[in-house]
Amino acid sequence: EAAEKCGYEHFMLKEIFEQPKALQDTLASRIKGGEIHLAPAIDALLQECTHLLIVGCGSAYHAGMVAKYVIEHFAKISVEVDVASEMRYRTPLCRQGDVCIVISQSGETADTLASLRLLKELGVKTIALTNVVGSTISREADFVMYTQAGPEIAVASTKALTTQLMCLYLIAMVLKKNHDATLLAQLSQIPSLAQKLLEKQEDIQRFAARQFNKDKVFFMGRLTDYAISLESALKLKEISYTHSESFAAGELKHGPIALVDESTLVVAMCTQPQLYKKMDSNIKEVKARGATALVVTFDRVHEFDDTADEVFRIPETEPYFTPMLTVIVSQLYAYYCSVLKGNDPDKPRNLAKSVTVE
Ligand code: G6P
């Protein structure tokens, strides 16, 4: 096992550090001659798509949440996202031409598989987005797109999620129809930006060393930053057993602020420039109640310098592409909190890598 960890203390840390390569592998095989080509049948299906459904569980669902913002923003196609355990029991209203992306790292999650079967019965065309070749979901879906993450051993998903995101961004660009060379160039830079970010991991480790004993951790953001807040809170609770929650920052006043006090850490994801002012006032509100605030924003952004206790900076890119970077900050924070609390981040209590029974 030590050999398989390649010198890393845990599989989770190894898998976090494998992300630049996994992202690059997932991206590179799909770009030819400066254009995105998924597979002829998938490209053709997406050309006709007028409404998209996305289904998954856990982190896969969060990838879908990011994709909703991204696809609606770039491609102007409506997207409906649901957790599979809800989708399979509700009454999805599907129309001719609907396409569903079924996201599952393992390709074996029971609820996700049940949703896939239901949607197929309803006549929806399905694309499996999975990491495991030959998995049940990959075999039963009409089409399949593989993430090139390589085996993911740690229970908490890291590189599977970021490569799912990369595939969803590629899908968004295909759905967008009019080719945008600047966006594609920015997307192609994400693997090297992820590498740059990982080189600053000690900053996150130091911050975790100061904050890992906080009773409550809230992640907040707007748009894609909100979607990544969901994933960030999940990661932290899964492996550090800290009470962590996430909410759309605009919801702060509708409940969460009642829980904010001196024992609270608030992580504010702030990568949407048009919303910096709104985020800044949310941060002031939690600070006024004694919370500690960490802001995650871009290099060269100084809007939060006077408000935040600490600012972690990610490399500049298109704001809608930041989830593949900001989530790495959360993964590292969760990992170090887990280790500092004496937990085994690879095998968190009560959790399984794949939930194959309901
Ligand atoms: C479990 C895992 C999560 C994962 C979820 C969905 O809860 O611990 O990391 O996101 O299942 O798994 P799947 O294999 O369908 O992506």
Ligand 1, atom 2, residue with closest C-alpha: 353
Other CB atoms within a 10 A radius of the CB of residue 139 amount to 11
Whether 58 is in the pocket of ligand 1, judged by its Cβ within 6 Å, is: yes
Cβ-contact 161, 167 below 8 angstroms: no
Best residue among 106, 327, 358 to mutate for probing ligand 1, ranked by most atoms within 8 Å of CB: 106
Is pLDDT at 152 greater than 90 in this prediction?
A: yes
Over residues 92-105, mean pLDDT: 93
For 315-339, how does the pLDDT look when each residue is reduced to its tens digit (9 = 90+)?
999 999 999 999 999 999 999 999 9
- pLDDT for 1: 78
- pLDDT for 192: 98
Give the C-alpha separation, 172 to 212, whole Å: 37
For 187-208, how does the pLDDT look when each residue is reduced to its tens digit (9 = 90+)?
999 999 999 999 999 999 999 9
CA of 163 to the centre of ligand 1 (A): 14
Whether 356 is in the pocket of ligand 1, judged by its Cβ within 6 Å, is: no
* DSSP code, position 49: -
Whether 354 is in the pocket of ligand 1, judged by its Cβ within 6 Å, is: yes
Average pLDDT over the chain, rounded to whole? Answer: 96
Is pLDDT at 153 greater than 90 in this prediction?
A: yes
Three-state SS at 333? helix
Q: Which amino acid is at 179?
A: H
Confidence grade of residue 2 (pLDDT, cut at 50, 70, 90): confident
Over residues 132-152, mean pLDDT: 97
CA of 114 to the centre of ligand 1 (A): 15
Three-state SS at 103? strand
Confidence grade of residue 107 (pLDDT, cut at 50, 70, 90): very high
For 217-243, how does the pLDDT look when each residue is reduced to its tens digit (9 = 90+)?
999 999 999 999 999 999 999 999 999
- pLDDT for 206: 97
Cβ-contact 326, 222 below 8 angstroms: no
Whether 288 is in the pocket of ligand 1, judged by its Cβ within 6 Å, is: no
Which contacts of 17-22 are long-range, i.e. CB under 8 A and separated by 24 or more positions? 17/198, 18/149, 18/150, 18/159, 19/158, 19/159, 19/162, 19/191, 19/194, 19/198, 19/328, 20/191, 20/192, 20/194, 20/195, 20/198, 21/191, 22/147, 22/148, 22/149, 22/150, 22/159, 22/162, 22/163
Whether 59 is in the pocket of ligand 1, judged by its Cβ within 6 Å, is: yes
Q: What is the ipTM metric for this complex?
A: 0.98
Confidence grade of residue 97 (pLDDT, cut at 50, 70, 90): confident
Over residues 123-135, mean pLDDT: 97
Whether 279 is in the pocket of ligand 1, judged by its Cβ within 6 Å, is: no
Range in 157-161, 178-182, 274-278, 296-300 the model is least confident about: 178-182
- pLDDT for 214: 93
Strands (E), the chain: 31-32, 35-36, 51-56, 78-83, 98-104, 125-130, 143-146, 216-221, 243-248, 264-269, 292-298, 310-314
Report which ligand 1 atom has the smallest distance to the Cα of 106.
Answer: 14
SS (H, E, C) 141-209: CCEEEECCCCCCCCCCCCHHHHHHHHHHHHHHHHHHCCCCHHHHHHHHHHHHHHHHHHCCHHHHHHHHH
For 8-48, how does the pLDDT look when each residue is reduced to its tens digit (9 = 90+)?
999 999 999 999 999 999 999 999 988 999 999 999 999 99
CA of 58 to the centre of ligand 1 (A): 5
Catalytic (active site) residue 21: no
- pLDDT for 42: 97
Ligand 1, atom 7, residue with closest C-alpha: 58
Confidence grade of residue 49 (pLDDT, cut at 50, 70, 90): very high
Q: Where are the alpha helices (DSSP H) in 177-309?
A: 181-198, 201-211, 224-240, 276-288
Report which ligand 1 atom has the smallest distance to the Cα of 238.
Answer: 8
Give the C-alpha separation, 191 to 150, whole Å: 16
Determine the number of helices (DSSP H) and then strands (DSSP E) in the chain: 13, 12
Whether 115 is in the pocket of ligand 1, judged by its Cβ within 6 Å, is: no
Whether 112 is in the pocket of ligand 1, judged by its Cβ within 6 Å, is: yes
- pLDDT for 134: 96
- pLDDT for 257: 95
CA of 55 to the centre of ligand 1 (A): 12
CA of 105 to the centre of ligand 1 (A): 7
Over residues 48-72, mean pLDDT: 97
Is pLDDT at 3 greater than 80 in this prediction?
A: no
